[in-house]
């Protein structure tokens, strides 16, 4: 139970930047030992709110009280009671991992006695132990994010403010991070977290949904679900995108048809009548479905339905033009060769092997997903394929051009969008497009035509003179993609392109990816959103630089058919992991959204054993259901399997 006196209290909190109101009359409270999740679309005001509560930014109006300190008057005092992790890396690139952590420990006044054990524990949880001596400048983007998490947690504050702390972090590390948060809650720490992962919001005590600087909904996850007032039908199919297209066309009167991995969610009021119409519609199209079933709404369902139609940036996609063949080498026609083909590709940095003997081929027009934990070698591989980094060993061709001898030719044939969106923040939208047009040799009428397309595709009509740094994440993301494909390349490399953007922006972005693929563009994409892996034609999983798996999402999930997976929904599932894992017949248990995914040897016996164990603990009314594995289950199973092999 939380302390009745709130540790965080905001009343009428407002922040204006010129004529723009970023936060508008926000009122909320967070009690001691509570974790409060703040969600909303890009530009909703979440980061501005956290900066005001941290004493970094003064409000224009309103009041806030944090850990007994009145803001803005006590901004210097409040910092001793809280830890704040921003979206930008607060790391020192010329210090090692261990030196960065020691620096923050000194900053927070942590005693030297016992510090080493605490640091080692945090490094172990984040899988950063092998990298203690590596310079922060040499870490991957995801590893930098994990190091910042460790630095923020080096002391146990009274209040912890986390601004999208798991962006760019793989599913295993996200699960470990939430275990750390739950331990902090038991110590009475009050946590306010913003997140782009709606499954994480499911784990919060309460959730506030922001839009346009205002709090438009608030409550526990269960309260928000009960207040939704609609039913969800889940239609699972190996051709989920086609199913969505058909149902969008045939069910114009329902409240929503959205894609969730390999499943389409239909929002309706009458699930029986709507289910019959869905079955008839799909039968006419010859589309087989695994099943149509009613499910409880998720917070992502509520988020997408509530906010999905607010704002022109989420309207119909602007078509992507077919790719031009820009190659100057006659033998390099991308129509005649695989888009990407590598054999024994290896890259070493001193004694460290980042990419280890990769061999694979990607045909033209395929959406190829590249998965792996932080530091697995994904970004290093992409940099080699883009001609930005020479391989230590191995051979490869991109668009028919040799990776080693034709690096400059490759750059003319590809588009590349990095984790940080590759934009110049001190230039306007128009100036960024002009800059990239110049790099790609566009001029005259063609540049004007492509510039008009880029502005429309990014949803930035009327904002061409706005400074790029002032754009919300979803707009920056689409502008970066537009700049990357301004020259209509046949191959596009996207390195974690949706990291940190909200679910609406992710869906809009994937519509663009599919449009590109349908026009014959090859899309090579890395992601930590396992739902997005479902949208790829094939996915490769690498770990410690080695290829662990390569196949279609459907076939990879089929590999787990020998295991039985149960979904357990009950209060405070995080407290039950060790108890459930200790049961006979339970192979593994892990947090998934607001519940647990439990791998068992036998479904019927496993369900009975779990319910009996919960009954002994006085927990009744739990829901246990056999479910098919999703791509996150595949990811976790394959990585843990590799760890067991390496440990053996």
Q: Say what the pTM is.
A: 0.85
Higher local confidence (pLDDT), 118 or 231: 231
Residues contacting 115, CB < 8 A, separation 6+: 102, 105
The architecture in CATH of the region 229-296 reads: 2-Layer Sandwich (3.30)
Strand segments, DSSP code E, in 532-593 are 538-543, 546-551, 564-569, 586-592
Q: CA 132 to CA 508: how far, in whole Å?
A: 39
Name the percent of the chain lying above pLDDT 90: 44
Q: Considering the domain 8-224 in this protein, what is its CATH number?
A: 3.40.50.300
Token pair listed for 483 = 């700049």
Does the pLDDT value for residue 119 go beyond 80? yes
Query: Where exactly are the structural domains of the chain?
Result: 8-224, 229-296, 330-491+503-512, 564-628
Closest CA relative to residue 428, chosen from 472, 469, 473, 466: 466
pLDDT given for residue 313 in this prediction: 43
Mean pLDDT across 475-502: 87
How far, in Å, are 555, 569, 609, 624, 631 from residue 601 at the CA level? 21, 19, 12, 15, 20
When pLDDT is cut at 50, 70 and 90, the band that residue 331 belongs to is very low
Task: Give 559 or 151, the one with higher predicted confidence.
Answer: 151
At 493 the three-state DSSP class reads strand
Whether residue 72 is preceded by a cis peptide bond, meaning omega within 30 degrees of 0, is: yes
The two three-digit tokens of residue 596, written as one number: 């647990």
Contact (Cβ atoms closer than 8 angstroms) between residue 134 and residue 143: no
Give CA torsion, residues 220, 226, 229, 233, to 10 deg: 100
Dihedrals phi, psi of 340, to nearest 5 degrees: -135, 135
Question: Which strand ranges, in their side-by-side order, compose the sheet holding 8-17?
Answer: 20-30, 8-17, 61-66, 69-71
Euclidean distance between CA atoms 501 and 479, whole angstroms: 13
pLDDT at 628 over 80: yes
3-state helix, strand, coil split of the chain in percent (to 5) is 40, 25, 35
Instruction: Name the residue with tokens 């006085």.
Output: 618
pLDDT band at 1 (very low <50, low <70, confident <90, very high): very low
Can you tell me which residue has the tokens 């191995």?
Answer: 394
What DSSP state is assigned to residue 287?
A: -
Three-state SS string across 150-204, please? Answer: HHHCCCCCCEEEEECCCCCCCHHHHHHHHHHHHHHHHCCCEEEEECCCHHHHCCC
> Does 330-491+503-512 carry CATH code 3.40.50.1220?
no
Please indicate whether the domains covering 8-224 and 564-628 agree at the CATH topology level.
no
Q: Is the predicted pLDDT of residue 598 greater than 80, yes or no?
A: yes
- What are the φ/ψ torsions at residue 528 (nearest 5 degrees)? -105, 0
- pLDDT given at position 142: 66
Mean pLDDT is highest, among 50-64, 371-385, 512-526, for: 50-64
What CATH code would you report for 564-628?
A: 3.30.70.100
Question: Once rounded to an integer, what is the mean pLDDT over residues 174-183?
Answer: 82
Q: How confident is the model at residue 5 (pLDDT cuts 50, 70, 90)?
A: confident
Q: What is the pLDDT of residue 213?
A: 93
């Amino acid at each position: 139970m939380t302390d009745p006196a709130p540790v965080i209290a905001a009343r009428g909190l407002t922040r204006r930047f010129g004529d723009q109101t970023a936060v508008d009359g926000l009122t909320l409270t967070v009690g001691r030992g509570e974790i409060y999740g703040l969600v909303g679309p890009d530009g909703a005001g979440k980061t501005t709110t956290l900066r005001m509560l941290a004493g970094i930014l003064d409000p224009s109006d309103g009041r806030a009280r944090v850990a007994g300190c009145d803001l803005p008057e006590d901004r210097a005092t409040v910092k001793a009671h809280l830890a704040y992790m921003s979206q930008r890396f607060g790391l020192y690139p010329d210090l090692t991992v261990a030196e960065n952590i020691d620096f923050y420990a000194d900053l927070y006044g942590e005693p030297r006695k016992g510090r080493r054990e605490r640091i080692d524990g945090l490094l172990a949880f984040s899988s950063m132990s092998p990298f203690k001596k590596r310079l922060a400048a040499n870490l991957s983007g995801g590893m930098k994010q994990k190091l910042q998490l460790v630095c923020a947690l080096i002391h146990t504050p009274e209040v912890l403010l986390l601004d999208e702390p798991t962006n760019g972090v793989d599913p295993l590390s996200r699960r470990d991070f939430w275990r750390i948060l739950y331990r902090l809650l038991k110590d009475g720490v009050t946590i306010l977290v913003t997140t782009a992962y709606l499954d994480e919001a499911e784990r919060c005590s309460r959730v506030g949904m922001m839009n346009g600087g205002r709090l438009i909904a608030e409550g526990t996850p269960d309260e928000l679900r009960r207040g939704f007032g609609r039913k969800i039908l889940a239609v699972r199919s190996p051709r989920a995108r086609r199913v969505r297209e058909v149902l969008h066309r045939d069910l114009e009167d329902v409240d929503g048809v959205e894609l969730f991995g390999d499943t389409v969610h239909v929002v309706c009021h009458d699930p029986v009548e709507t289910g019959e119409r869905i079955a008839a519609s799909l039968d006419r199209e010859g589309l087989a479905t695994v099943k149509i079933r009613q499910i409880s709404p998720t917070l992502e369902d509520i988020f997408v339905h509530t906010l999905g139609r607010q704002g022109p940036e989420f309207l119909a996609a602007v078509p992507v033009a077919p790719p031009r063949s820009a190659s100057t080498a006659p033998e390099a026609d991308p129509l005649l060769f695989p888009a990407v083909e590598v054999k024994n590709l290896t890259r070493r940095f001193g004694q460290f092997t980042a990419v280890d003997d990769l061999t694979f081929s990607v045909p033209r027009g395929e959406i190829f997903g590249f998965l792996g934990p932080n530091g697995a070698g994904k970004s290093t591989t992409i940099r080699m394929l883009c001609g930005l980094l020479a391989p230590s060993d191995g051979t490869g061709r991109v668009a028919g051009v040799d990776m080693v001898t034709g690096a400059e030719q490759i750059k003319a044939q590809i588009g590349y969008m990095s984790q940080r969106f590759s934009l110049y923040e001190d230039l306007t939208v128009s100036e960024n497009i002009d800059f990239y047009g110049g790099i790609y040799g566009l001029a005259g009428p063609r540049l004007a035509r492509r510039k008009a397309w880029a502005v429309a595709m990014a949803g930035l009509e009327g904002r061409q003179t706005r400074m790029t740094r002032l754009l919300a994440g979803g707009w920056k993301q689409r502008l970066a993609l537009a700049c990357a494909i301004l020259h209509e390349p046949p191959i596009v490399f996207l390195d974690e392109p949706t990291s940190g953007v909200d679910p609406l922006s992710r869906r809009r972005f994937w519509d663009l990816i599919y449009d590109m693929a349908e026009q014959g563009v090859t899309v090579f994409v890395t992601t930590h959103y396992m739902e997005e892996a479902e949208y790829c034609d094939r996915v490769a999983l690498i770990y410690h630089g080695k290829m662990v798996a390569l196949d279609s999402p459907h076939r990879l999930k089929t590999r787990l058919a020998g295991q039985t997976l149960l979904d357990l929904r009950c209060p405070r599932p995080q407290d039950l992991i060790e108890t459930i894992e200790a049961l006979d017949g339970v192979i593994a248990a892990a947090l998934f959204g607001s519940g647990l995914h439990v791998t068992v040897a036998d479904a019927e016996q496993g369900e009975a054993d779990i319910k009996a164990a919960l009954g002994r603990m006085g927990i009744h009314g739990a829901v246990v259901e056999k479910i098919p594995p999703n791509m996150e289950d595949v990811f976790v199973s394959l990585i843990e399997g590799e760890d067991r092999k390496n440990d053996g």
